[in-house]
Amino acid sequence: MEKEILNKLLNLGADDVIVKITDEDIEQVRFSRNRIDIAKNWQEKSADIFVALGKRTMFTTIKDFDNIDASLKTVMELAKKANENQSYYGIAKEGFEYGNIEFDKKIIDADCKDYVHAALNEIKGTSAGTVLKKHIKTRIATPYTHSDDETASIEFSIRVFLEKEISGHRVSVATDLKNFNPVKAASDAYELAKLYKNPKTGERGKYDVILDPLFFGSVINYTLGSASAFSVEAGLSFFKDKIGEKVAPENFTMIDTGKGLYSRRFDDEGVATGENKIIEKGVYKTYLHNTSTAVKFKTKTTGNAGLVAPESWNFKVEAGDHSKDELFDSFTGLYLTNTWYTRFQNRMTGDFSTIPRDAIFYYENGEVKESWKDIRVSDNMLRLYKNIEALSKERQMVKWWYEVEEPGIAPFVLIKDVNITRSTQ
């Protein structure tokens, strides 16, 4: 289908065309209060199409395939009426050496409800969560390349409540069933909730904090948007003018990669995805680019073209030098296990706040001294990265709902002097 659409648009007069066809088969089981609420299955197809007539550009997403010829003609008519896009410098003509993506075909036939029942058997209290499995096939065609992709992934998320406000949240996500362990995630969430006793309202001030991989994954998700070249131009990036600058200590390296939970062999221009070190040994290295932004920034595409603007795929933070136990050994400060609702007051400066949820522990000399609740991390993203003190060797692949929307591998991280606030009344 992709080649047919490509040829039709070229015949209608387009100078450049990209056609990406996606077929999704997704299944989800949701549960709460220890019972399955609903099971869902989506079988959907979409065609993402880019057309250029000189510098006049047009994107379209077609999910109604009944009148495709008429849709293509409409797109061409609109492209003729569009103004010249001064930010457009062509699509990729090279970079098409694709790697392979491996996934476990058994995921396709996995029974989601069985994982829910197995997990619930492990725990007491009440719990809520989801099992989600995805099987996605993608094909891309441009005048310069043609390729296809197939991936599958499975995700489990569980929040266990022992009583009102006493909760722990864990996830298990994988591209093969061997590494998918919802029972362990449930058991870990339950153990966290058991440790989290009689929480008191926390006190404001500066604290050293250890962020769990789930929390750190969320922070990274709100960071990656700043790495897109589009964001840099749009006033949405706290990494503007930071290339070559030290933004974190030497022990910190953060990578965007095409391989992970949401693997992809090529970006939305058909360029092979790879590994891009965004921050290497603490130094900010690159923004994420498509062909056009790369020309503007006088560099090469990083294989991160999204339909409109460069996007990140999967993140990976390199392992640190300390074991997890060493991080907690004689630690005084807050261990934060999960967060949500991160918002910025200024995306260029990176001033933000986020609200820790689930288990929050105040440690003194390596021991849990108190459980806390009702606090907020109110700080600055650039300061947060600069104040990283240590990272754990142990890392986890995390993905959770909207807060860790882009999956990745994160360690435990110790950050000095983080500003904590709370409600005044």
Enter the DSSP assignment of 318.
P
Q: Which is nearer to another protein, 251 or 353 (CB)?
A: 353
Least distance to another protein, CB of residue 304, Å:
16
Angle between helices 68-81 and 2-11 (to 10 degrees): 50
Least distance to another protein, CB of residue 137, Å:
12
Least distance to another protein, CB of residue 128, Å:
4
Q: Which is nearer to another protein, 328 or 344 (CB)?
A: 344
Q: Which is nearer to another protein, 147 or 378 (CB)?
A: 378
Smallest Cα–Cα separation from 263: which of 407, 106, 110?
407
d(CA 367, CA 359): 15
Q: Which is nearer to another protein, 274 or 407 (CB)?
A: 407
Binding mask 379-408 for another protein (x = CB under 8 A): ----------------------xx------
Q: Which of 323, 330, 332, 345 binds another protein (CB under 8 A)?
A: 345
Smallest Cα–Cα separation from 45: which of 66, 28, 59, 63?
63
H/E element, 114: helix 112-120
- Which residues partner with 174 through β-bridges? 154
H/E element, 277: strand 275-280
Stretches 3-11, 12-20, 44-52, 409-417: which one binds another protein (CB under 8 A)?
A: 44-52
Q: Which is nearer to another protein, 93 or 204 (CB)?
A: 204
Binding residues among 243-302 for another protein as defined by CB under 8 A: none
Binding residues among 355-384 for another protein as defined by CB under 8 A: 355, 357, 374, 376, 378
Q: Tell me the C-alpha to C-alpha distance, in Å, between residue 312 and each of 48, 201, 228, 268, 383.
A: 18, 37, 8, 12, 22
d(CA 33, CA 269): 45
Q: Which of 7, 32, 147, 299 binds another protein (CB under 8 A)?
A: 32
Q: Which is nearer to another protein, 46 or 251 (CB)?
A: 46
Least distance to another protein, CB of residue 261, Å:
16
Q: Which of 29, 154, 381, 388 binds another protein (CB under 8 A)?
A: 29
Specify whether the CB–CB gap between 233 and 294 falls below 8 A: no
Smallest Cα–Cα separation from 77: which of 18, 12, 142?
12
Specify whether the CB–CB gap between 38 and 20 falls below 8 A: no
Binding residues among 56-75 for another protein as defined by CB under 8 A: 57-66, 71, 74-75
Stretches 35-43, 252-260, 296-304, 327-335: which one binds another protein (CB under 8 A)?
A: 35-43
- Other beta carbons within 10 Å of 171: 27
Q: Which is nearer to another protein, 145 or 338 (CB)?
A: 338
Binding residues among 127-186 for another protein as defined by CB under 8 A: 127-130, 157-159, 161, 165, 169
- How many residues line the site for another protein (CB under 8 A)? 88
Residue for token pair 């003729």: 80
Binding flag, residue 83, another protein (CB under 8 A): yes
Question: What are the strands, taking DSSP E only, across 142-191?
Answer: 146-163, 166-174
Q: Tell me the C-alpha to C-alpha distance, in Å, between residue 113 and each of 109, 183, 206, 279, 394.
A: 12, 13, 44, 40, 30
Binding residues among 186-215 for another protein as defined by CB under 8 A: 204
